[in-house]
């Protein structure tokens, strides 16, 4: 079971989705713009909305992450209480992704060993998205030490 995440952007969704596809080495995203949606005779689509991304998605290490630009005139708040957590057993992969995601962003906590992980770090990327990268423990939850 997974949790799907939907991220909204303010006109730079295409750039963000393509950036994440590169970082996580996924297939290039298939992008549907607002202009590609079926026309509604009761509503004239504003010209500034036609090239904005209505929907795209990426499979990032088995998780479905969806993206969209906000529709013109709708409120937009950068990183509005969204944090994505990337958990993996491969420390080298975590280090590589962390280095790529921090470009143009802001590191909250450098990658380091913690009481719950051999390698954990957090950052806000150049698009304002909060990320946590965490090395998955070899132990199960039942075997994990008490806090």
Choose among 93, 99, 107, 101: nearest CA to 136. 93
Torsion of CA 95, 83, 5, 113, to 10 degrees: 30
1-74 CATH? 3.10.180.10
78-141 CATH fold: 3.30.720
Residues of the chain with CATH 3.30.720.110: 78-141
pTM: 0.72
pLDDT tens, position by position, for the chain (147 residues)? 355 788 889 999 999 999 999 999 999 999 999 999 888 888 889 999 999 999 999 999 988 898 999 989 888 877 665 778 898 999 999 999 999 999 999 999 999 998 889 999 999 999 988 888 999 876 534 343 433
Specify the 3-state DSSP secondary structure of 76: coil
């Amino acid at each position: 079971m997974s949790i799907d995440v939907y991220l909204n952007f303010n006109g730079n969704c295409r750039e963000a989705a393509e950036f994440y596809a590169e970082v996580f080495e996924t297939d290039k995203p298939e992008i549907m713009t607002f202009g590609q949606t079926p026309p509604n005779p009761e509503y004239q689509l504003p010209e500034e909305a036609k090239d904005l991304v209505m929907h795209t998605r990426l499979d990032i290490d088995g998780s479905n992450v969806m993206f969209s630009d906000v529709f013109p005139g709708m409120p937009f708040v950068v990183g509005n209480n969204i944090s994505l957590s990337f958990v993996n057993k491969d420390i080298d992969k975590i280090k590589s992704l962390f280095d790529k995601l921090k470009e143009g962003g802001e590191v909250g906590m450098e990658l380091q060993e913690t009481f719950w992980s051999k390698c954990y770090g957090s950052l806000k990327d150049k698009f304002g998205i909060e990320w946590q990268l965490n090395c998955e423990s070899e132990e199960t939850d039942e075997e994990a030490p008490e806090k």
